[in-house]
Structure 1
Amino acid sequence: MNEIIKKRLVQAALAISLAAGGAVVTHQAAQQPSAAVQLAMVLGSHYESSGRHIGTPYVDKLGKGQPLTVCNGVTGPEVVAGRTYTPDDCKRLELPKYLEAERLARQAFVHWGTYNTWVQASIIDMVYNLGPAVLDGTTIVRLANAGDLVGACEQMPRWVHGTVAGKSVVLPGLVDRRGTTRELCTDWGRDGHFSAGLLVEGGAK
């Protein structure tokens, strides 16, 4: 994992913990996404647009092909050619997709509630980036549901292919991204790791 994304994740975790520790319970606070979703959004921001919201729709030629893409990997009927999207617009478009990724992951992984927040974030990022296919009878889900979470995490670097000019190729950006999610999934939040205790919210370590 490179130092830039590591620093961003640590800063985000500290901010989440401070907010959770000092927040007055309000309706607005209750509507906040989970810490895992918030961290997955940090990952998406880093890897989809190098930390910058892309405000003008474009064609992603590395793997997505024809659909217009905007913000951090958002495609679909919400994306209108020629429109400029603000950071608030991007969050409005992205958040439901992250929440859906979390819902699908929670449904697929029978031990989801025992995973720490970093593990959950790494899986949410994969589902957001790859779509539900990553959950459909894959080795990741099979191993995790059999109790071998580390083995499941080690499967993440296999998901690094995209389609370019009609051919399946390894995409360097996905290699970096999966390396980060694998490390989050196998190491972060565990006893003895520097990240242990960074988050107030989270499952078992």
Structure 2
Amino acid sequence: MNKRAKVALASGLGLIALTATYLTEPWENTENLAYYDRLGKVWTVCTGETKGVKQGDYYTDAECKQMLYTRLENDYRKPLQKCVKGFDAMPLSVQASMLDLSYNVGVTAVCNSTAARLASAKDWRGSCEAMTRFNRAGGKVVRGLKLRREDGDLTRIGERELCLGGLKG
């Protein structure tokens, strides 16, 4: 297990806090004042929040963190529990990587993915590798998505890096 995965997994954080702290927040960044996301054509605030956001909205860091934790739990983890057989029994590293992936690309995409099918079959390594396929936007590989899906960069851990880091053997 590499050092970054070891540190993250030894943190003692539960699934939601682990995912938010080591994957989602570092890759999404947090903006306290709502901004207009030209790519998504939607008002966005905090750590990628778009639900009900309007111009001028402002949240503290604590409010942003709570908003992210609530969304990860209710809008991503709970649906994954329903669509990915055995989700709660999977290694924490696989759950966290899949949870962050769903936050970034959507629950439906993850539920219908090869990664979910392999995870349900307890092929953890295969699932970790399959998650890396979500590295495109507009049909082209995007460097930032490739880094997020794979082994990160100098300051951020990647989903595969964490995912594989929590597996035995």
**TM category, shorter:** 0.7 to 0.9
> Alignment partner for residue 59 of structure 1, among 33, 36, 44?
36
Q: CA deviation at 1:39?
A: 1.0
Q: Which of structure 1's runs of 4+ aligned residues deviate more than 3 A?
A: 12-15
Structure 2 unmatched runs, 5+: 151-157
Deviation at 1:149, TM superposition (A): 2.3
- Tell me the CA shift for residue 98 of structure 1: 0.4
Q: Does 1:173 align with 2:144?
A: yes
- The whole-number CA distance in structure 1 between the counterparts of 2:113 and 2:36 is 29
Aligned residue pairs: how many? 159
- Does 2:135 align with 1:156? no
Distance in 2, matches of 1:60 and 1:124, equals 23
Q: Please identify the structure whose Cα radius of gyration is greater.
A: 1
Counterpart mapping for 1:117-196 below 5 A: 117-162=92-137, 167-179=138-150, 180-185=158-163, 187-191=164-168
1:84 matched to 2:58? The reply is yes
Q: Per-residue deviation at 1:127?
A: 1.0
Q: Percent identical across equivalent pairs?
A: 32
Given the two structures, how large is their TM-score scaled by the length of structure 2? 0.81
Equivalent residues of 1:108, 1:135 under 8 A apart? no
Which AA in structure 2 matches 1:55?
Answer: N
- Listed one character per residue, the Cα deviations across residues 109-146 of structure 1 (whole Å, up to 9, x for unaligned) are 21223322111111111111111122342211222223
Structure 1: runs of 5 or more not aligned: 18-34, 193-205
The aligned amino acid for 1:46 is: P
Question: 1:25-104 counterparts in 2 under 5 A?
Answer: 35-42=14-21, 43-49=23-29, 53-62=30-39, 65-77=40-52, 79-100=53-74, 101-104=76-79
Deviations 1:175-199 (A, max 9, x none): 11101112222x222346xxxxxxx
